[in-house]
Amino acid sequence: MPFYVIKSRTLKICLAIIIVSVLLAVSIDGVSAAQVYFGYPNRKVPIYYVQTEEKEVAISFDAAWGADKTEEIMKILKEYNCNATFFLVGFWTDKYGDIVKKIDENGFEIGTHSNTHPDMTKLSSEQIKQELESSIKLIKDITGKDVKLFRAPFGAYNNNLIDISEEMGLKTIQWDVDSLDWKGLSGEEICTRVLNNVRSGSIILFHNNSDHILEALPLVLDRLTKQGYKIGAVGDLILTDNYEIDRNGMQKPLS
């Protein structure tokens, strides 16, 4: 009888080890479950926000669908003397080349948001490079300027995507304040959401063609300005060298 008890316990232990091993081998959004379980020791993250003692934030707009509000957005930004970054998808750039040129001529920063807006964590390395190279070429052919910033579609990323973007000289940019303007919120609701979540060093996400962006943007800019925030482009906020990014996505100077 003792022999069978020991054998049964051993069997259960072995089975448990096998189950845990399988679970930890599973990939979650491009990151292994083992990394998740043990605290992401090797996981890379984009820049979500910047450590700074200055009251400054960055405004960003993702452009993938439609363009009829983009020129008015630029006018509003100019009225408040604010810079901003536009992350452009390749097919949008190709369709609205005249708008891209105006974004550049008005002094706003342009980054890539991929070429076809796929979940890039599901692509091969070669496909990722193609997405980035194609979208960058479209932008550069219009502006004549290098592209230095990249925002992943759907905010989906993994180590391979970040590694490739870094190899191409791109900084991968996320956000820590999501306006949720794409959900059809009113201008006041968008503004309230942004103000409730903003902090020094924040990167704020908007979309260039969301339903109520033209109502929300003046409210946000006015109230942030009155609170003493300097509002600029992502490139005005982030560090370009001698920095590290912690597990929460905070970019900070090397200590």
Helix axes 125-143, 97-105, angle to 10 degrees: 70
Structure tokens at 164: 């490739």
Q: What is the mean pLDDT of the chain?
A: 89
- 49-253: CATH topology is TIM Barrel (3.20.20)
Structure tokens at 45: 């993250």
| Beta-bridge partner residues of 88 | 63, 112
**Quick one: pLDDT at residue 255?**
82
* Distant-in-sequence, close-in-space partners of 38: CB < 8 Å, separation ≥ 6: none
Residue 79 to residue 73: CA distance in whole angstroms = 10
Low-confidence ranges of the chain (pLDDT < 70): 1-41
**Quick one: pLDDT at residue 42?**
84
Smallest Cα–Cα separation from 84: which of 234, 251, 240, 239? 234
Q: Give the residue extent of every domain in the chain.
A: 2-37, 49-253
**Quick one: pLDDT at residue 3?**
44
Smallest Cα–Cα separation from 103: which of 89, 83, 81? 83
Q: How many CB atoms lie within 10 A of CB 106?
A: 14
Helix axes 213-226, 70-79, angle to 10 degrees: 20
**86, 150 in Cβ contact below 8 A?**
no
